[in-house]
């Protein structure tokens, strides 16, 4: 898989740079699609509570990064 990082400076090979910093989720209450910000520095597996931007109800957010830095995000009613 070469060619993906050609535009990037090869000196900056920090894997953390490639980790997802946002994810699209659907609110379990109102069903709206919302893009949420993620914090890769929080660890490979995270769980926290965040309020829906649309209906302001609390989600329980589960984030898991795979080996490539792709975030798998689930939200459920908190
Ligand atoms: Zn909502």
Tell me the domain boundaries of the chain.
19-77
Distance 6 CA to ligand 1 centre (A): 39
Q: Average the pLDDT over 2-19 and give the result.
A: 56
Q: What is the pLDDT of residues 17-72, one digit of tens each?
A: 689 999 999 999 999 999 999 999 999 999 999 999 999 999 999 999 999 999 99
Closest CA to 60 of 29, 15, 31: 29
pLDDT reading at 10 higher than 50: no
Distance 50 CA to ligand 1 centre (A): 11
Distance 59 CA to ligand 1 centre (A): 9
pLDDT reported for residue 11:
47
Spatial distance between the Cα atoms of 25 and 23, rounded to a whole number of angstroms:
6
Distance 31 CA to ligand 1 centre (A): 6
Closest CA to 27 of 47, 55, 49: 55
* End-to-end C-alpha distance for the chain, whole angstroms: 40
């Amino acid at each position: 898989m070469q060619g993906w990082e050609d535009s990037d400076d090869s000196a900056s090979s920090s894997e953390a740079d490639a980790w997802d910093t946002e994810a699209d989720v659907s609110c379990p209450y109102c069903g709206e699609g919302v893009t949420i910000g993620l914090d890769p520095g929080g660890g490979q597996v995270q769980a926290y509570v965040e309020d829906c931007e649309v209906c302001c109800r609390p989600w329980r957010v589960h984030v898991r990064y795979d080996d490539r830095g792709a975030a798998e995000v689930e939200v459920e009613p908190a």
